[in-house]
């Protein structure tokens, strides 16, 4: 890789190591990304280099947790699936308001946050209106961080599934990557769409449970068939 060659030529250059962190994240090599980010931070001398290296390390550590949570999710059963309960899929309209910045308009044309699956017992409560707000919030934040590779003219394709719970107070918990796209940048954008929306509005008052468990689907440039 070019960035590796640049590091070999200038081993003390912090910027090149930060670039390497980004490349490793895209390849899904989170442990290597954390290692290189730590080295970049140890080499940083100026306040700007220290701040950028620190941010790179934080990003690498956070995204490494995404894949750890994914493996943990695979070891457990989803509530509702083990008991024979049928999951409820609610198709949500995801029209974006006008007057959004260009990147979000492009996102509206070529990306789709798809349906939301409710994996836990709704106790007879209609969550349609509530989930529309949730989807609108997530989509707004997701569209703001769509990687350039997924935008025109490249329009890289990929599907991401993320599972998480919304607690009674609207806070997010039990977040895990249920199925990745194979591209760390696409996975992270979808992940950030949810974390940046946290907390949501509290759950409807008529709901007697402590949380609802959801699975979100993110489709990058789906085929229009």
Q: Is 215 helix (H, G, I), strand (E, B) or coil?
A: strand
pLDDT band at 209 (very low <50, low <70, confident <90, very high): very high
Least confident piece of the model among 24-33, 112-121, 134-143, 189-198: 24-33
143 pLDDT band, cuts 50/70/90, is confident
Q: Residue 164 contacts by C-beta under 8 Å, 6 or more apart in sequence?
A: 172, 173, 174, 175, 176, 194, 213, 214, 216
The pLDDT value given to residue 5? 46
Q: How confident is the model at residue 74 (pLDDT cuts 50, 70, 90)?
A: low
Q: Which CATH entry fits the domain spanning 88-220: 3.40.50, 3.30.1150, 2.20.25, 1.10.10?
A: 3.30.1150
Residues 126, 85: contact at Cβ < 8 Å?
A: no
pLDDT value for 87: 46
Give, in order, the Cα–Cα distances in Å from 147 to each of 83, 143, 187, 188, 222: 39, 9, 10, 9, 15
Give pTM, 2 decimals: 0.60
Looking at residue 202, what is its pLDDT?
A: 97
Half-sphere exposure of 39 (CA within 13 A, CB side): 17
Q: Write down the residue that tokens 């070891």 correspond to.
A: 75
Confidence at 113, pLDDT banded by 50, 70, 90: low
Q: What's the maximum distance between 2 C-alpha atoms anywhere in the chain?
A: 64
Torsion over CA of 187, 193, 196 and 201, rounded to 10 degrees? Answer: -140
- Which CATH class, in words, describes the domain spanning 2-74? mainly alpha
114-137: pLDDT as tens digits: 678 999 999 999 999 999 999 999
Mean pLDDT of 176-196: 87
**Domain spans of the chain?**
2-74, 88-220
């Amino acid at each position: 890789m070019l960035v590796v060659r640049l590091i070999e030529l200038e081993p003390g250059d912090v910027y090149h190591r930060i670039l390497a962190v980004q490349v490793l994240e895209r390849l899904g090599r989170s442990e290597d990304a954390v290692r290189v980010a730590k080295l970049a931070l140890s080499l940083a001398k100026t306040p700007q280099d220290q701040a950028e290296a620190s941010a790179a390390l934080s990003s690498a550590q956070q995204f490494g947790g995404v894949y750890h949570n994914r493996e943990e999710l695979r070891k457990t059963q989803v509530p509702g699936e083990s008991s024979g309960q049928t999951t409820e899929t609610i198709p949500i309209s995801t029209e974006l308001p006008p007057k959004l910045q260009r990147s979000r308009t492009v996102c509206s044309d070529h990306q789709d946050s798809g349906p939301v699956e409710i994996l836990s017992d709704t106790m007879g409560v209609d969550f349609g209106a509530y989930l529309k707000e949730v989807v609108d919030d997530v989509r707004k934040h997701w569209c703001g961080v769509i990687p350039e590779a997924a935008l025109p003219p490249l329009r890289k394709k990929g599907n991401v599934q993320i599972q998480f719970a919304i607690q009674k107070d609207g806070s997010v918990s039990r977040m895990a990557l249920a199925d990745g796209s194979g591209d760390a940048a696409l996975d992270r954008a979808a992940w950030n769409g949810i974390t940046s929306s946290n907390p949501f509005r509290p759950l409807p008052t008529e709901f007697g449970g402590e949380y609802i468990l959801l699975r979100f689907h993110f489709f990058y440039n789906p085929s229009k068939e």
